[in-house]
Structure 1
Amino acid sequence: MSRWKINILGLLLLSGLLGCRGGEPSPEDIPTVVAEFVNAPRGLSVGTPLSVTARGSGVEHSLLTWTNVFGIRVIPGGSLKAEGEIYAWPIPEDLLRVAGKVDLVLAHNGSVLATHNLLIRPGPPTGIMETYVGPKTLVVNSEQPAMMITVPLDTFGNPVDNQRSVTQQVKYPGRETISRELRTTNLVSSYELAAGPQTGKILLAASADASRTVEENIELTPAWPETTVIQLDQFYPFADSRQEYWVSTAPVMDVYGNPVADGTVVEFVLRNGDGSLYGKYRAFTTGGVAQAHLLNPVAPTNLRLSANVPGGATSNSLALEFAAYVTQMPFRVEPDARRVEVGPLGAVMGQVVGDDLPVSLQIAGGGQQYAAEKLTYEGQCTFELPANLPPGEYTGELRAGGLIKPLRITLTEIPRNGF
């Protein structure tokens, strides 16, 4: 059923009910069968004041309905405007602020006296323009497009009419601003964008007369990593676990030469000489670069180091050779005192090792085992063997900085009460 038919049926019912409230109307209350709108406009601009006038005997008792896109508004009986039985219905301001088609119906006592339609035209664009942008992220040089849709509005928030000029502006990273003249169609203007070759932000703006958009942007993210190179930034080539070596990647790039996004995972992989896994360490890129600080091994060893982005780029491989740090480790065993004194330890150039170098002791014998670790101070440390180790022969080793020294101890019975 059309909007006209619904409007008229509803109005007839309403006017009939209102007309019957006081019983049968007197003949002088019944308007002429035919009434007409007087000087009713076919169109006007939004916000323009309007009084609807009609001529006919008894028209002042009639109801006027105003139907727009938001529904029906009933406007009560009109007031005398001039000679000749012309009556006026002032239209409320809020109705005149809504652009679009309007249907007018004048009715009384179940009869439609007159109908009219008019068009309220939107005003010029002004204020902040509505914008819709998506998707907000694109991968560089991908086939996925993005779109910016603008809705220019007049001072009352109505979308402007078709064929209104809208200037769209787009700036890709590293390029000049592009301007494009568009026209509104079905209340909007739209602009499709392709992904560019360089990471960064696509800046978007639009204007129409006195209307502007807020700044919009689309993030261009790097494609999947293609290549990377690793390098040693700091390296101490000895088996001293107090030391660390630093490794970093050159900027990890995608196929288009863009650094990957911050936070991209890079795995540094260490393998033994036989290819078996020694360890994996994760780092995250900042500005395309990932860096890791790795501890030196405790024993002489040869390793190979590489890096990869899981599912993506793989780096070159570096050979790492760690020689023994400690070259001299004198020690003295005092079996009666159950004590092993170690040091002073000598390093690669004959110097006394620094403080806090780990020294480990392991011995076994008679079904018993004992292990302990001490840290050097001025190149020395002392192991006190526990009293609960039974007397007997024990063999084992001392380890420090990659150097291993065999050890043999004969423990005697601990005298009781000093005898």
Structure 2
Amino acid sequence: MIRLPLALMLTTQMAVAQDFTTDAFGILPTAQLGDRANWAGLRQSPVGGDTMQNAQPADAVIFFVGPKSIVAGGEPGHAVALGLDAYGNMVSEVQAEVRLGYGPIITGNTRDGIANVLFTPPPQAGMLLAGAEIDGVQSARADYRVTADLATVLPSFAEREMRVLSETFGEIKTAPLMDAYGNSVDDGVGVSFVLTDETGGSTYLPSVVREDAARSVVLARDLAGSHNGQLALAGTSAGGLNLTVDDVLIEDAGTFVVWAEPAIDAVQIRLGPLATPNGYLVPDGTAAQVDMVASDGTRRSAQGWVLDGFVTFGLLLSPLAAPFDVSLTIAGSIVNRTVDLSPPPANLTIRGAE
């Protein structure tokens, strides 16, 4: 038997060190960095050691101004420019030139890629356009608004004395609303009116600014006598309005017509047209009362409202008890007449009847 010697062959392979790069996003073989090779920041490598890779010149500038509404002559605003190179790296320690739509160019250096420049708003209100430039690259334009300084507005009433006829509309209005720089208050800013009567009762009237002034329409119903007016705008209040509600007076009560309703043993009465001393019809909705006394002493009363200058009532009085003593009371006027039966008015209509 032949024995063969056992031959052992040992092979060894020499290990080759591979270069890795560490950046802010992790560890990666240097040969596989790809686009990350262009990213700025601190790099650590067993082969190359620690190196700082800087951003390239700016390729794009992002810009904004805030807040979007800045008070004229008030707190400083911020103009912020962000410079980026072609690989998205923020460009640091370079100068940004900012144009704000007024005044000279202002400058500031980027820090960690951002230039934040404080500026004092101009005293003139309006829409402005702004922009920034870094490394010769311009941003898209940004718009911002400078608004009136409401804290410096001294509101007042357009009229100090107003008279309104009861049951009619009256307009309360401010004088033109401007700040200390002469800027008009923007449309839509809220203004409040308050009317206080002699008993301390108050009527609240909300409003908004429109075309430099605030207006509110008041219906003089359930209002009587003298009222003091106050207004408030952005925490500033002012008085100075004296509003007087005048009672409705009748200059001409027109014709009193009484006709029979025999089916129900009653009468109808229509009074008017009712005219004021100025020649206008008494306003619709004005309260009216009629008191009638028949020839047999029977008394009846009715309350209602003026409609189209007339008042019409039905009363349970016998037509056989004519004539009638009629007393019409409207606000500050009382009209007394003695009226006999007559045919219904030829132009008698009932609103809404077909």
Q: Same fold (TM over 0.5)?
A: yes
Q: Of 104, 129, 144, which aligns to 2:45? A: 104
* Whole-angstrom CA distance in 2 between matches of 1:402 and 1:396: 17
Aligned 8 A contact 1:347 1:353 in 2: yes
Are residues 225 and 331 of structure 1, via their aligned partners in 2, closer, same or farther at CA, if it must alter by over 3 Å? farther
User: Match for 2:28 among 73, 76, 80?
Assistant: 73
Structure 2 unmatched runs, 5+: 1-9, 293-298, 318-324, 339-354
* CA distance, structure 1, for counterparts of residue 235 and residue 226 of structure 2: 27
Aligned pairs, how many?
312
**TM-score under structure 1 length normalisation:** 0.60
Residue of structure 2 equivalent to 1:30: 14
Q: Name the CA shift for 1:371/1:270 in 2 (closer, same or farther; >3 Å).
A: farther
What are the residue-to-residue correspondences of 1:81-120 with 2, within 5 Å? 90-105=31-46, 114-120=47-53
Inter-partner Cα distance in structure 1 for 2:300 and 2:186: 53
Question: Residue 116 of structure 2: which of 160, 184, 190 is its match?
Answer: 190
Q: Does 1:249 align with 2:174?
A: yes
Alignment map for 1:281-320 (pairs within 5 Å):
281-297=205-221, 301-309=225-233, 311-320=235-244
What is the CA–CA distance in structure 1 between the aligned matches of 2:337 and 2:11, rounded to whole Å?
131
Aligned to 2:18: 63
Secondary structure at the residue paired with 1:285?
strand
Let me know the Cα RMSD of the aligned residues. 4.2
Give a deviation string over 1:62-98, Cα, whole Å, max 9, x none.
Answer: 42212122110135xxxxxxxxxxxxxx554312221
Matching residue of 2:187: 262
**What is the aligned partner in structure 2 of residue 124 from structure 1?**
57
The question of 1:141 aligning with 2:73 is answered: yes
2:92 is the alignment partner of 1:168: no
2:81 maps to a residue whose letter is T
* Alpha-carbon distance in 2 for matches of 1:331, 1:300: 28
Q: Establish whether residue 347 from structure 1 lines up as the match of residue 240 from structure 2.
A: no
Structure 1 portions without partners, runs of 5+ = 1-24, 32-58, 76-89, 106-113, 388-394, 409-419
Q: Which residue of 2 aligns with 1:382?
A: 312
Aligned partner of 1:130: which letter? Answer: I
AA aligned to 2:18 is: L
The residue identity in structure 2 corresponding to 1:343 is L
What do residues 311-341 of structure 1 show as CA deviations (whole Å, max 9, x unaligned)?
3131432454635342233646679843351
Provide the rounded CA distance (Å) in 1 between the counterparts of 2:276 and 2:236.
Answer: 42
State the one-letter code of the partner of 1:230.
F
2:130 to 198, 204, 215: 204
User: Cα–Cα, structure 1 residues 255 and 121, in superposed 2: closer, same or farther, change >3 Å?
Assistant: closer
Q: Return the alpha-carbon distance in structure 2 between the equivalents of residues 356 and 284 of structure 1.
A: 28
Distance in 2, Cα, partners of 1:374 & 1:300: 17
**Aligned-partner residue type, residue 173 of structure 2:** S
Structure possessing the higher radius of gyration over alpha carbons: 1
**Counterparts of 2:32 and 2:65 in 1: how far apart (Å)?**
39
SS state of the match for residue 245, structure 1?
A: strand
Query: Please, which moves more after superposition, 66-75 or 151-160?
Result: 66-75
In structure 2, what is the Cα distance between the partners aligned to 1:238 and 1:161? 72
Deviation at 1:132, TM superposition (A): 5.6
Structure-1 residue corresponding to 2:350: none
Question: Which residue number in structure 1 is paired with residue 86 of structure 2?
Answer: 155
Q: How many angstroms apart in 2 are the aligned matches of 1:341 and 1:209?
A: 92
TM-aligned CA deviation for residue 179 of structure 1: 0.7
Identity, % of aligned positions: 19
Distance in structure 2 (CA, Å) of the matches to 1:146 and 1:298: 50
Change (3 A) 1:192 1:236: closer
Q: Indicate how the Cα distance of structure 1 residues 72 and 223 shifts in structure 2: closer, same or farther if over 3 A, else same.
A: same
**Deviation at residue 183 of structure 1 after TM alignment:** 2.9
**SS at structure 2 position matched to 1:95:** helix
